[in-house]
Structure 1
Amino acid sequence: MKKLMMAFGAALLLFGGAEAKNLKTFSIDDLIPGGATYAQHTPENIYGLQWWGDICMKPDIDKVVSINPVNKYKETTVVTLEQVNNSLKEQKLGQIHHFYSVSFPFAEKKIMKIEIPQKSVFYDFGVHQITKIINVKERAANNDYCKENGSVAYTIDNNLYIADSKGQNIQITNEPKGVVCGQSVHRNEFGILKGTYWSPKGNYLAFYRMDERMVADYPFVDIDTRIATEKPGKYPMAGMSSHEVTIGVYNMATGKTVYLNAGNPKDRYFTNIAWGPDEKSLYFIELNRDQNHSQLFSYNVERGEKEKMLIEESNPKYVEPQHPILFLKGDNTKFIYQSQRDGFNHLYLYSIDGKLIKQITKGNWLVKEVLGFDGKGDNIYISSTEVSPLEVQLYKVNLKTGKRTRVTQVAGTHTTLLSTSGKYVIDRYSSTTAPRCIDLIDVNKGKANNLLTASNPYEGYNTPTIEMGTIKAEDGVTDLYYRLIKPVDFDPAKKYPTVVYVYGGPHAQVVNNTWLGGARGWEIYMASKGYVMFSVDNRGSENRGLNFEQVTFRQLGVTEAKDQIKGVEFLKSLSFVDANRIGVHGWSFGGFMTTNLMLRYPDVFKVGVAGGPVIDWSYYEVMYGERYMDTPESNPEGYKESNMRLKAGNLKGHLLVIHGGVDPTCVPQHTYSFMKACVEAGKYPDLFIYPGHEHGVVGKDRVHLSNKMTQYFDEFLK
């Protein structure tokens, strides 16, 4: 076991000791989103920072300021709220109250785009006047602006529209109920976040068409009507009929739509749409329903016919394409393809005929994101975990030599935005010692100009210490990262109750080098009340490579639970942890893990609070569920082993299950069926429903949720 005292925790010790009695105590409103004083205890921020070419634009409430890296980062006010509102008033367009949501789409023009209801307003901040207004219809959603042709694609209900540069609103599709166009498909899996894709020059619009009529209706209920109203939603469960997706291409010149001839769409996923630079071809990855075989195809957009299969991948467990191809800058014959084929997500260079030229990045770390190219296209910028699985850093990679140059130098987790030429970077980061920092980096000079260094928002409060380190997984070989939060006024001679906060599933990591080590406000609150709080990222979680993740394949909850128990063994080795008072809490996959741990190890965990839990994976949706578990028909033993209803009779401790009343992600049927199983087994868990809430409890009700969980642990664990 390795342990490292966070500098953050050590610094907080300076507030303790003899002066601790003068420090304030946190209330739950201080630490939970929706709390009355929560905003006062979040790190200071600068909202809306973005690039206008190579000039950084800083929107504020009453003005927009430009920051010019060439001119010693001089700040200049380019437009005021009064100027914009005067122009809006002249056009009878109302007014705006801040600049946080504006954008600057043209690097070469002094144009600011302002979104107001049913309108996109273009304001020239050089001459201070409105130059253009694009009107969309009432109830427009999913707006997608194309600066090349000046049009906006949008949806109303299930159909797709375009508001063009001539002021026309054109209905592109006219589909019956149950067929959805222009919106995200496949339940936002495979990196899909939208449903429309403009071509590079704006001559075409590719879009998804999703036929859901064969998918079973799930009976969500609206209780706000006098007689509760059924509001069914489409929910394809594992092993059942899924929706069928096709891809359309609308030609702006002819007004006609061609649907790509990909064959029968049944039991197939079409993902990662990308345009060729010449607009002649559209590229996407086709994935089979088993999700173990993918193929990258090119299609002719005029005829809709398949041109060629370029890249093919298979894996005995699953492949998971999440990124579209990216053509090199100024080169229509080569593109970059992302793959986990060597165990980690890396970049590969291919020719347009599908031949591998070379692997660009390699190592036991992941490429997290591709940000873009430099001015000439000789280098590409990536964020990666090369320094540590706990950090994200920005690198410049030379496409010819593969040489990587680290751009962000400070330890922590960085989120970056590249300027148009690639010369400068907006760098937002935090670490265990830094609540939030924002720098402008000159890539070539390697110099950073600080825009913000947030102060500790907990200063003056009695704050817990945090430690991070590693323990061995159940296999005795693999390192797992943990976070340990000690109570305020910690006394090593005392025995403390301990709560394990768990997620444990794919695409998530709860321990990292960010502010508070990734801890949530509720964990800090619980530590302020005298609890030890602990988390460990078990095998199956994110940022450690494919083998680390895939060890849970077809048996969700088994290996993860064994690793969590290794965490408990570590806790029991600590003299200040009361081994008879260990609880567990998690939400979503963490809710499944909480229930799972309470039932697999009933003599270990005294109290659990499970939020939005999966209880039976056969009740979960197709894309996610079948990737990790296959179908109930092909993996009956795996589904049986992971079914919490069948383990309800093992319950010994106190278990509170919480669920959103209209949860469309993990449907309430999970919790209701578990309660029924507990009744049949003669067990007595507790249940709390948040009516009207979906998968997460938000707003002021989140404070209620946090209080509810705290009260439960106070009553049965403390």
Structure 2
Amino acid sequence: MVAALTGHAQELKSLTLEDLNFGGTNYHNMVPKTRYTTWWGDELVHLDTEDCFVVNKTTAKERKLFTLSELNKWSGMTLRHLYDISFPETRKPLVWLNDGKQCMLFNWKHKKVLWKGDVSIAKGAEVQDFNTVSKALAYVKDHQLHVVDAHGNDHQVTTDGSRELVYGQSVHRNEFGITGGLFWSNDGTRLAFYRMDQNMVSDYPQVNIPELDWKPAKGESRIATFEPDKYPMAGETSHKVTVGIYDLTTGKITYLATGDPTDRYFTNVSWGPDNQTLYMFELNRDQNECRLMSYDTTTGKPMAEIYRETDAKYVEPLHPITFLPWDKSKFVLWSQRDGYMHLYLYNKVGEVRQLTKGPWMVMKLLGFDAKHKRIFIESNTCNPIQKNIFAVDTETSKQTLLDVNGQGWHTGSLSESGLYLVDNYQTPDIPRNIAIVNTKNGKAISYFKAPNPWQGYTVPGYECGTIKAADGTTDLYYRMVKPLNFDPNKKYPTIIYVYGGPHAHNVDARWHYCSRGWEAFMAEKGYLLFILDNRGSEHRGKDFEQVTFRRLGEEEMKDQMEGVKFLKSLPYVDADKLGIHGWSFGGFMTINLMTTYPDVFKVGVAGGPVVDWKWYEVMYGERYMDTPQANPEGYATCSLLPKAKNLKGRLEIIIGLNDPVVVPQHAFSFLKACIAAGTQPDFFVYPGEPHNMRGHQSVHLHERISQYFFDYLK
């Protein structure tokens, strides 16, 4: 399969990094425009900076509800825009407002405040979560958990919080789908929260360097300060997590009786419809067994083990269960146990039926249609690099395609009843279209079409196709970005951009096949770019992902070298001028490929690279590699340190000095190994920056990456 998008250079403006990089001064004008919408029951609302409109779902015409200035005047608020307002009740003219000082339930029709609460008390909080039903605010400040009730009373729930004893925040280093640590019950009367004891976890010695213009107060040291991170490395002692329940009515805390939390993970917390039962997935440290447990939050005692899943390699629950709105005794459970991520219908006793099935992945659960007992999903049923929207009949499992064209990459937003859908989509040659779909009859009307933001600029050519993986059977998808004024009779220096790791992909059916702006910039400078999603990346099923188990990098490199073989077969690729670049896992792949195949790659830039997996964190590292104690051969084989002696081409390593994800020890140790071996990599560091460069420093970073290729791959 090969598809192509081409651009022609005429008297047009050239694309720059200020245009193409997310930190650039003109970047906001160069991304496809969109419309920000939300649902007010079954009414579609368009939110803009200054105006709020209701959208007619059959004509797409808009009627103004109110303006920002009107809402601020009527309510006394100081909102800066309307993007964050929400509509809590169907058919009632009510909006939730929050300007950072106070939150308010406001009736815009009668210009009346129905409820108002002070949220400025949580200013400076590490995390906070407001419940619109009970009008209670939970927040963590100075390490302590607080709850402010509907009457404005601030209850300090904990007193022993500290850097070592963390309340209400994300745990397990954001793995297993965890994004936070506060979980309100549906009625807002009970708050579940994480408590993470990390006293036993080793500190990684991060150093904070003062700003250039920092002027110390009298007697204050100007020396860089020690700001350690708690970082549990693979095979080392990890933190212990428990889950507490705070009852707003009684003011009491009850901890779930989960047993000894040592070497266990608790994730995907969800409340039952009764607002008393809590459901949670629990994993062992080996991550080869998970259990769905239910708990009585009044007593904290376990009620039942509802589901158990084991795997010879690993299981990875990423989604909480979701109860059916028309039958509170049943819920939807996600699992990849049949080889692909699918949905299953369960009750408190066990499985009822499998809802989706096939060699494709469910990617998102959008919501429900209670009247017709349907579930709405996003999946790659149509094609591995597409995302499309389907309705699934829960009785028959029949699927109906709902999006506009069955092509491209579709993101859906469902109305309260499930009878209407906003379909926001891109295709390789469509920057963005938005349609409104009637889910009952499938009729769609066009609501918004984004103009091409690159109109008037020079644009390279984009292609997408497949090659076979190193196993000889599996299709792998690639993206190619061809130089401006491409001439097939010329030979071009070629750069492979790589990531290659789990939970990510680079090629899909979005605009320009999901190409990064930097690729267009380099294509304008005469380089050909090639990007391949190897086995081990996401959305292709369990076998595709797990082939890398206990040997990260090996199968991935074999597939990338199949890409190199393909490139060398093309008459316009200069095989003597191959470069490679990647960040994080891609940085690991960059160094790995350059030192495993030193005669193939002339130039490489590795950003934030993992060098040895024994220095990576417990949850991610042990899922894919087991512990260093259990898999010493795998860790030794996958380490880049012994390969430092093989380096021949020009390699630049770039890191953020304060990277809490891939800690600087990785890069420093590789440099030390190169010194011992007599090889000569280049090195650049961004002081004060984490794993990725922030703001305009990202432009500086990509200027540096580009210049390295300009200097040595030409």
Corresponding position: 1:84 with 2:71? yes
Aligned-residue offset at 1:495: 0.8
Aligned-residue offset at 1:425: 1.2
- Contact between 1:328 and 1:377, CA under 8 Å: does it hold in 2? no
1:633-652 residue CA offsets vs partner (Å, 9 max, x unmatched)? 11111111111112100100
- Contact between 1:118 and 1:140, CA under 8 Å: does it hold in 2? no
* Distance in 2 (alpha carbons) for counterparts of 1:289 and 1:557: 23
Q: Match for 1:308: what amino acid?
A: A
> Residue 676 of structure 2 is aligned with which of 665, 673, 680?
680
1:665-676 alignment runs, 5 A limit: 665-676=661-672
1:4-56 residue CA offsets vs partner (Å, 9 max, x unmatched)? 123xx14x3xxx2xxx3412222221111121222222111223x11111111
1:294-313 alignment runs, 5 A limit: 294-313=290-309
Aligned-residue offset at 1:133: 2.2
Change beyond 3 A, Cα 1:112–1:665: same
Aligned-residue offset at 1:129: 3.9
- Tell me the C-alpha RMSD between the 2 structures: 1.4
Q: Match for 1:399: what amino acid?
A: T
Change beyond 3 A, Cα 1:23–1:73: closer
Report the counterpart of residue 161 of structure 2 in structure 1: 176
Three-state SS of the structure 2 residue aligned to 1:564 is: helix
* Distance in 1 (alpha carbons) for counterparts of 2:676 and 2:74: 68
Q: How many residues align?
A: 700
Q: Match for 1:122: what amino acid?
A: L
Report the counterpart of residue 185 of structure 2 in structure 1: 199
Three-state SS of the structure 2 residue aligned to 1:22 is: coil
* Distance in 2 (alpha carbons) for counterparts of 1:124 and 1:142: 28
Which is further off, 373-382 or 478-487?
A: 373-382
> Residue 96 of structure 1 is aligned with which of 67, 79, 82?
79
* Distance in 1 (alpha carbons) for counterparts of 2:75 and 2:185: 32
Corresponding position: 1:155 with 2:175? no
Which is further off, 400-409 or 494-503?
A: 400-409
* Distance in 2 (alpha carbons) for counterparts of 1:106 and 1:145: 16
Which is further off, 386-395 or 36-45?
A: 36-45
* Distance in 2 (alpha carbons) for counterparts of 1:558 and 1:673: 21
Q: Match for 1:159: what amino acid?
A: Q
1:282-321 alignment runs, 5 A limit: 282-321=278-317
Corresponding position: 1:219 with 2:205? yes
* Distance in 2 (alpha carbons) for counterparts of 1:80 and 1:129: 16
* Distance in 2 (alpha carbons) for counterparts of 1:279 and 1:80: 37
* Distance in 1 (alpha carbons) for counterparts of 2:537 and 2:439: 33
* Distance in 2 (alpha carbons) for counterparts of 1:669 and 1:241: 19
Corresponding position: 1:139 with 2:124? yes
Corresponding position: 1:555 with 2:526? no
Three-state SS of the structure 1 residue aligned to 2:595 is: helix
Aligned-residue offset at 1:188: 0.9
Unaligned runs of 5+ in 1: none
1:75-474 alignment runs, 5 A limit: 75-87=62-74, 89=76, 95-136=78-119, 137=121, 138-177=123-162, 178-224=164-210, 226-353=222-349, 355-376=350-371, 378-410=373-405, 411-474=407-470
1:58-77 alignment runs, 5 A limit: 58-69=46-57, 72-77=59-64
Change beyond 3 A, Cα 1:30–1:310: same
Which is further off, 423-432 or 127-136?
A: 127-136
Which is further off, 156-165 or 245-254?
A: 156-165
Q: Match for 1:161: what amino acid?
A: H
* Distance in 2 (alpha carbons) for counterparts of 1:159 and 1:619: 31
- Contact between 1:106 and 1:147, CA under 8 Å: does it hold in 2? no
Q: Match for 1:120: what amino acid?
A: C
Report the counterpart of residue 52 of structure 1 in structure 2: 40
* Distance in 1 (alpha carbons) for counterparts of 2:607 and 2:97: 39
Q: Match for 1:4: what amino acid?
A: V
* Distance in 2 (alpha carbons) for counterparts of 1:663 and 1:112: 40
- Contact between 1:134 and 1:163, CA under 8 Å: does it hold in 2? no
> Residue 15 of structure 2 is aligned with which of 26, 40, 62?
26
Aligned-residue offset at 1:350: 1.6
- Contact between 2:161 and 2:167, CA under 8 Å: does it hold in 1? no
Q: Match for 2:380: what amino acid?
A: T
Aligned-residue offset at 1:141: 4.1
> Residue 35 of structure 1 is aligned with which of 24, 41, 45?
24
Q: Match for 1:620: what amino acid?
A: Y
* Distance in 1 (alpha carbons) for counterparts of 2:599 and 2:560: 14
Three-state SS of the structure 1 residue aligned to 2:328 is: coil
* Distance in 2 (alpha carbons) for counterparts of 1:157 and 1:365: 46
1:528-586 residue CA offsets vs partner (Å, 9 max, x unmatched)? 10000001100000110000000000000000001000000000000000000000001
Which is further off, 342-351 or 96-105?
A: 96-105
* Distance in 1 (alpha carbons) for counterparts of 2:672 and 2:632: 22
Q: Match for 1:144: what amino acid?
A: D
Unaligned runs of 5+ in 2: 212-221
* Distance in 2 (alpha carbons) for counterparts of 1:589 and 1:240: 21
- Contact between 1:262 and 1:306, CA under 8 Å: does it hold in 2? yes
Three-state SS of the structure 1 residue aligned to 2:436 is: strand
Three-state SS of the structure 2 residue aligned to 1:711 is: helix
1:571-610 alignment runs, 5 A limit: 571-610=567-606
* Distance in 1 (alpha carbons) for counterparts of 2:109 and 2:74: 13
> Residue 523 of structure 1 is aligned with which of 514, 519, 524?
519
Aligned-residue offset at 1:435: 0.7
Residue identity (%)? 49
* Distance in 1 (alpha carbons) for counterparts of 2:246 and 2:290: 26
Report the counterpart of residue 218 of structure 2 in structure 1: none
TM-score by length of 2: 0.96
TM-score by length of 1: 0.95
Aligned-residue offset at 1:88: 5.1
Runs of 4+ in 1 over 4 A off after TM superposition: none
Three-state SS of the structure 2 residue aligned to 1:436 is: strand
Aligned-residue offset at 1:377: 6.2
Change beyond 3 A, Cα 1:383–1:40: same
- Contact between 2:60 and 2:447, CA under 8 Å: does it hold in 1? no
- Contact between 2:42 and 2:416, CA under 8 Å: does it hold in 1? yes
* Distance in 2 (alpha carbons) for counterparts of 1:323 and 1:145: 22
